[in-house]
Amino acid sequence: MLGYADEVWWSRLAQPPLQTWTEDQPLGLVAKTANTQDPEPTALAGYGLLRADTAQIWLRFVAGRPVSALPTQFLTWSCRQLQREAKRALRLVWDTASWPLRREVRQWVRAHNKEAKRTGGVRSVRCQLPAKSPWLNRIEPHWVHGKKAIVEPQRKLAAAEVMARVHTYYGCKQFPILSQ
């Protein structure tokens, strides 16, 4: 199965650039202000996988910052999902962001593939894109459109609302949040 993977951030404050047609000045969305009393994060991180065979997006939000073992948790989960569908390999296309290049991720791919070969699991084949070429990752436009689709110009959304809108927009199932 060919898949396009990427890390994504969903801001509760920043507004995506949107264009409007007016006779006066162009209209634009204004970024929300952060409130120090707000216990919720200003942005939500997640990992996504666009399946080339079904055009379906798998999305897992992350508790806190997406560091250390979280990318490998997402990859492990993705391979388990594919194994349930009797897939044998995941050709994973990703850009040159920092998370796919981490030593932990490279070591996980090697160890996972050894185990998959021994037990008949889903192997993971990395297909890294050239540097400074995010447009080649087919999941990137999905993120841009999704951020525009869930925008709320009048108020700041709660974190749960952001997640619900994102899942609704992509038509994807809500999976448990990845945590360290």
Alpha-helical (H) ranges within 46-177 are 70-84, 98-101, 103-119, 140-149, 159-170
Confidence of residue 86 (pLDDT cuts 50, 70, 90): very high
Q: Output 97 or 151, whichever has higher pLDDT.
A: 151
Task: Map residue 119 onto helix, strand or coil.
Answer: helix
Domain boundaries, the chain: 2-170
Please name the amino acid found at residue 164: A
b/e string for 49-84 if b means 16 or more Cβ within 10 A?
A: bbbeeeeebbbbbbeeebeeebbbbbbebbbebbbe
Q: Of residues 73 and 22, which shows the higher confidence score? A: 73
CATH annotation of 2-170: 3.30.420.10
pTM score, two decimals?
0.85
Is the model's pLDDT at 29 over the cut of 70? no
Contact predicate 43/31, CB 8 Å: no
Nearest Cα neighbor of 50 from 93, 88, 80 is: 93
Amino acid 22: pLDDT: 65
Angstrom distances, CA of residue 53 to CA of 21, 87, 142, 167: 38, 11, 16, 20
What single-letter DSSP state applies at residue 41?
-
- pLDDT at residue 158 is higher than 70: yes
Is residue 35 predicted with pLDDT exceeding 70?
yes
**What is the DSSP secondary structure assignment for residue 24, as one 8-state letter?**
S
- What CA–CA distance (Å, rounded) separates 33 from 51? 36
